[in-house]
Amino acid sequence: MSGPAKSFAEIFNSGSWEGMQQFTDGTLLADDGTTFRIHKVVLSPRSGYLHALFSSNLNQETVAIPNIGRKILESILSYIYTGIIAVDEKMSRE
């Protein structure tokens, strides 16, 4: 990555965020056991649900997201980080 990124979307869409795992401060656990390293400071102000979840689990690095599978949680995180969401027909039924 040359120079500072202009937005979270640019970082997320370029894939460079995957190499920055050392800067994450939490993990979300999907219903199927898949984990996602996350940035609480980014997610909390963009989701009241996640803000409440993080606030009630202050001392836990890993927070379970009940009844949400990997694909749906991945789409939610993509939307929060980039403002873009992709939903296929199967996911819309979940």
pLDDT number for residue 23: 80
Model confidence pLDDT, tens digit, residues 8-33: 667 666 665 555 677 889 999 999 99
Which burial class, exposed, middle or buried, applies to 88 when counting CB atoms under 10 A from its CB (0-12, 13-18, 19+)? Answer: exposed
- Say if 72 falls within a structural domain: yes
CA–CA distance, 35 with 11 (Å, rounded to integer) = 20
Three-state SS for 3?
coil
Model confidence pLDDT, tens digit, residues 30-82: 999 999 999 898 899 999 999 999 999 888 889 999 999 999 999 999 888 88
CATH of the domain at 51: 3.30.710.10
- Say if 73 falls within a structural domain: yes
Q: Is 0.95 surpassed by the pTM of this model? A: no
Mean pLDDT of all residues in 71-94: 80
- Say if 32 falls within a structural domain: yes
pLDDT number for residue 1: 47
* Domain span holding position 42: 8-87
- Say if 2 falls within a structural domain: no
CA–CA distance, 23 with 42 (Å, rounded to integer) = 12
Question: What's the total number of domains in the chain?
Answer: 1
- Say if 1 falls within a structural domain: no
- Say if 93 falls within a structural domain: no
